[in-house]
Structure 1
Amino acid sequence: MKNKNYEYDIALSFAGENRAYVEEVANSLKTRGVKVFYDLFEETNLWGKNLYEYLSEIYQNRARYTVLFISGFYNQKLWTNHERASMQARAFQESREYILPARFDDTEIPGVLKTIGYISLKDRTPDEFASLIEKKLKKDTTFLESKLATLSTLINPKPFLFTVKVVNEQEEAIKNAKIVLVANNATYLEGFSDEKGLAHFIIRTRKLYTVLIAHPENLGVLFENVNPKEDIKVTIEKSIGSSSIILNKSGEIPGISGRIKPILKSNNAIALYADNIAVEGGKHQPYDFELNKSISVEDNGGNILHLTFRFFKGRIALIDYYKNKPS
């Protein structure tokens, strides 16, 4: 299907026992700007759907390629074989390769001929494999055409308005949610939702943005690769005992005295400075940390908070914070 604008460049099909490896591949592809279908990236979207029908649609119609991670575990699973059947239906209809086999071992998979070219994952790191996938995509002319089409829609010399609406599960407006749009080049726009839950942004050059939303009574929300050509509505859930905040360069976290300052070190590690605040019981600062992993901080009054950095780019950080350590 020439020039089809697929929702995903790559869909990943694998057995749960191989998740650790596949998740690293998915994250590496994501950082390379590849649109990847990986189940844990889609938890909210999958919630409540008829998975049998929805996954059939993904693997048969909505991805440019599917990577099939072959292992002894894969052959034993009901869902993976359902995914495989959907891929093979698509492959039968097209005159080009669609299923890209990658082997953890020599397990035979029904319908996957031994003569089909495959990639061995033995002694190959997830990042190395992700690089091979990226190279495969760049050899696909329809993939390159879709990228050029996307770029052409992101250039608009006339300013226009982009609106984010924030509501709760009862469709009630959320006031005073902080919203920051972070472009891929780390420039940003920021604002707050009004009484109607609306925040308006004047966009002068179309770029893809990561949309960050924080509120004192809710966990943070993050959406990547948002094209501002269409307004969006975001539903956030109230979370008892949990809050979120967006910091620019540095700032104070409610409930604890002192300031914190996340930084990007020369080796690309993320680290934290804290003014009159102990990190992880008094570890040396700057303290290296990872995104999405909780760290504890304590001020000179014995107040303790647990912070989870959800996003950090340029000088913008999205942080969830809790009085009790999250499970």
Structure 2
Amino acid sequence: MKNRSYEYDVALSFAGENRAYVEKVANSLNKKGIKVFYDLFEEANLWGKNLYEYLSEIYQSKARYTVLFVSSFYNKKLWTNHERVSMQARAFQESREYILPARFDDTEIPGILKTIGYINLENRTPEELAILIENKLKKDQTFFRNRWSKLSTMINPKPFIFTLKIINEKEEFIKHAKVVLMANNSTYLEGFTDENGLAHFVIRTRKLYTVLVAHSDYPAVVFHNVNPKDDIEVTIEKSENTGSLIINKSGQIPGLTGKVEPAISTDDRLSIYADNIAIEGGKNQPYNMDLDESVTLEDKEGNIISLIFRFFQGRIALIDYYKKSTVRQFS
């Protein structure tokens, strides 16, 4: 089994009552380039299939690992127990861990011994769980060999031009937008749109990219798993008082004096440092936060800006910013 290639890196098995949490895990894994079986990602594929047979095959043979989200709801569902039986049939055949329990509570699941190592979800965010799943996969050498093999086949000996066109809702060209193409290995290409809203990139290695777009007059845009073989057109719409920017290592937020510097904390969370800028009224720095979480900054002049980090990888951050108000204090 050790040389086997799987259709999915991980499958997620859960009760519908826990979907809100699990969906965030699935989205986070997807952003990391991890192939995840999550039912809502597969609606078109599942349409018309014999689900009893198809799901048995998914959980028994098509995924490298399965994360089983243990809860009181899980035990009561017909389909989750069908998935569990398929997983256990696979686990019985293999001499390595396959079922990875993640517990919302202490519910006993038939066949899942309490002595099996599990992850407690009580104070763990979906992004933190996704990072643990990613780290588990990184320890699997077959996973690495398969991924390297797929990347190797994407090398294109002849460079080619990939073009991205950016317009607004009025079909006007958006010039001076910054565009970054970020590969899964954190290497990147960057450029700006010209007078015709076009950004051109010379592609020498065929990979899938995350495309980041930022402009001082428009919200941030992110596209995942973009194949550069075909040019793309992006339409973005204005949002009042909202702009976006991409910073590398550190940068200045329009409307604020001083710089901000995002980083990854020791517990793998997003954290930010700010030079001569108060974060959330003066919280200690580095300040830990999550993607898509709003944070308020105030500079020495009393200018207040709300930030939301939409993407962070390597040293590249994509940020939405919203000017709240200006506060003047006099003695």
TM band (smaller chain): 0.5 to 0.7
Correspondence 1:177-196 to 2 at 5 A: 177-194=177-194
In the other structure, the counterpart of 1:121 is 118
Residue 202 of structure 1 and its aligned partner are, at CA, apart by 0.7
Residue 68 of structure 1 and its aligned partner are, at CA, apart by 4.0
Query: Cα deviation per residue 1:156-175 (whole Å; 9 max; x = unaligned)?
Result: 3332112223355x583551
SS of the residue aligned with 1:172?
A: coil
Correspondence 1:190-269 to 2 at 5 A: 190-194=190-194, 197-254=197-254, 256-264=255-263, 267=266
Residue 207 of structure 1 and its aligned partner are, at CA, apart by 4.1
Residue 151 of structure 1 and its aligned partner are, at CA, apart by 1.5
1:103/1:51 CA distance change after superposition, 3 Å: same
SS of the residue aligned with 2:34?
A: coil
1:201/1:21 CA distance change after superposition, 3 Å: same
Correspondence 1:30-179 to 2 at 5 A: 34-38=34-38, 53=47, 64=63, 66-76=66-76, 100=99, 102=101, 104=103, 114=111, 121=118, 126=129, 130=133, 134=137, 138=141, 146-168=146-168, 172=171, 174-176=173-175, 177-179=177-179
1:73/1:3 CA distance change after superposition, 3 Å: same
In structure 2, distance between residues paired with 1:310 and 1:322 = 13
1:296/1:32 CA distance change after superposition, 3 Å: closer
Give the counterpart letter for 2:216 in structure 1.
P
Q: Could you tell me which runs of 5 or more consecutive residues in structure 2 were left unpaired when the two chains were aligned.
A: 326-331
In the other structure, the counterpart of 1:289 is 288
In structure 2, distance between residues paired with 1:120 and 1:237 = 47
Residue 321 of structure 1 and its aligned partner are, at CA, apart by 0.9
In the other structure, the counterpart of 1:12 is 12
What is the TM-score when the length of structure 2 is the normalising length?
0.65
In structure 2, distance between residues paired with 1:58 and 1:298 = 52
Residue 189 of structure 1 and its aligned partner are, at CA, apart by 1.9
In structure 1, distance between residues paired with 2:302 and 2:250 = 21
Give the counterpart letter for 2:263 in structure 1.
L
In the other structure, the counterpart of 2:317 is 317
Q: Could you tell me which runs of 5 or more consecutive residues in structure 1 were left unpaired when the two chains were aligned.
A: none
* Cα contact 2:212–2:221 (8 A) shared by 1: yes
In structure 2, distance between residues paired with 1:51 and 1:227 = 21
Query: Cα deviation per residue 1:204-223 (whole Å; 9 max; x = unaligned)?
Result: 23444332111334321223
SS of the residue aligned with 1:323?
A: strand
In structure 1, distance between residues paired with 2:287 and 2:102 = 35
Residue 179 of structure 1 and its aligned partner are, at CA, apart by 0.9
1:204/1:136 CA distance change after superposition, 3 Å: closer
Choose 28-37 or 211-220, whichever is displaced more. 28-37
1:128/1:249 CA distance change after superposition, 3 Å: closer
Give the counterpart letter for 1:247 in structure 2.
I
Residue 150 of structure 1 and its aligned partner are, at CA, apart by 1.5
Give the counterpart letter for 2:47 in structure 1.
E
Query: Cα deviation per residue 1:276-312 (whole Å; 9 max; x = unaligned)?
Result: x33322345x542324222212234432110112223
In structure 1, distance between residues paired with 2:283 and 2:138 = 42
Residue 320 of structure 1 and its aligned partner are, at CA, apart by 0.7
What is the TM-score when the length of structure 1 is the normalising length?
0.66
> What is the aligned residue count?
303
1:100/1:89 CA distance change after superposition, 3 Å: closer
Identity of aligned residues (%): 46
In structure 2, distance between residues paired with 1:241 and 1:290 = 23
* Cα contact 2:67–2:101 (8 A) shared by 1: yes
SS of the residue aligned with 1:157?
A: coil
1:323/1:211 CA distance change after superposition, 3 Å: same
1:69/1:313 CA distance change after superposition, 3 Å: closer
1:316/1:54 CA distance change after superposition, 3 Å: farther
Residue 121 of structure 1 and its aligned partner are, at CA, apart by 2.7
* Cα contact 1:291–1:310 (8 A) shared by 2: no
* Cα contact 1:103–1:119 (8 A) shared by 2: no
In the other structure, the counterpart of 2:272 is 271
Give the counterpart letter for 1:222 in structure 2.
V
